[in-house]
Structure 1
Amino acid sequence: MTKRWVAALGALLMTGCSTQASYTVQQVAQQLPVGARLEIATPFTYPGGRTTLWFQGGEIKPSRGLNLWTWHCSLDLHFSARSEQAREYGSGSFIITGIREERLAAVEGWALRRASLFARDEDYMLGIVFHLSAPDQPEVRQLRCERRFEDWSRERALSLADLRETLGGYLVVAAPGG
């Protein structure tokens, strides 16, 4: 009897964790395809010792100042490019060479907040990663855009409008070959 109960509970828990994506990376790639460029329109600076710069609402923000429930993007350098001196970017462009999706369940803190079997203690983080390439700026690695959702059924893909709103006038999207 106990083995059946454990098996049934396991099956129930696994079905509760399975998700069906409401969109695909291909839908994001229709608006932001491989080959599109991100052009620097407004100069920006990485502070010394940093390899990540966060954008949200058209502004550069500290990571602790982000609202995780709205789209935010990080422009990431290769860790080996870390320098104690500030690094300025005033012009240039980055070509999107690949796009991938990241999904995680995010639990706040280590303690369980609820003991009920059907209670939800987590929310979900959706991330879209654009791999970047720039011959004159090889230290730039990727643009990662993320946002939290209460559950998978409420997620929606990053749109071109979302990206423009997030990056503001710092980086602008140009069509492939354009």
Structure 2
Amino acid sequence: MTGENLIANGDMRQARPGAAGPNDLMPAGWEAFRIDPATGLRLVAEPPEGVDYMARVFGGSSTSKTADGGFVQAVGALRSADTYRLTGRVRATWPVDEKHAAMIGYDPTGQTMDPMAATIHWMLLPAVSGLFVDYTSEPIRPKTDQISVWLRARTTQTDDYRFEADFDHLTLHQIPTTPPTR
């Protein structure tokens, strides 16, 4: 991979105020989306040191409501002739099953309005609970001059252990596609 990380605030270290007051922080550079209006979204610090930050989607018993939502970012100034790779990591309090899911996705069209769009390439993660799992996309070729990056989690279970999905260390880099020379 070459060049700088093209995702703004992929390490989630920059915050902006949320709608619920001064203690409600959201990751700067990312837009929230809620398919299920009860979905909890926020920026959190990793305890106990509080030096690593992540975007969190939560619901289930912590809110007594189902959840489906997350964060999206349009990444522009790309070239459709170039190829890119998306990486990141995700951790959830539940492994993927019929009631819980955490996903990282990208849309080569760059749209940011429809989290249900058929153009989004989703990867379900993680297969374990409580541990960060790395994600690396297949090579991505934008349809135009941008792609969108999607972070999403959902749960339909409201009466058991809380559901939280954390996303961090998102990167998008151009990858070399030129043939080697001597």
Q: TM-score range by the shorter chain?
A: under 0.3
When Rg is computed on C-alpha atoms for both structures, the one with the higher figure is 1
Q: Greater helix share, 1 or 2?
A: 1
With normalisation by structure 1, the TM-score equals 0.23
Q: Greater strand share, 1 or 2?
A: 2
With normalisation by structure 2, the TM-score equals 0.22
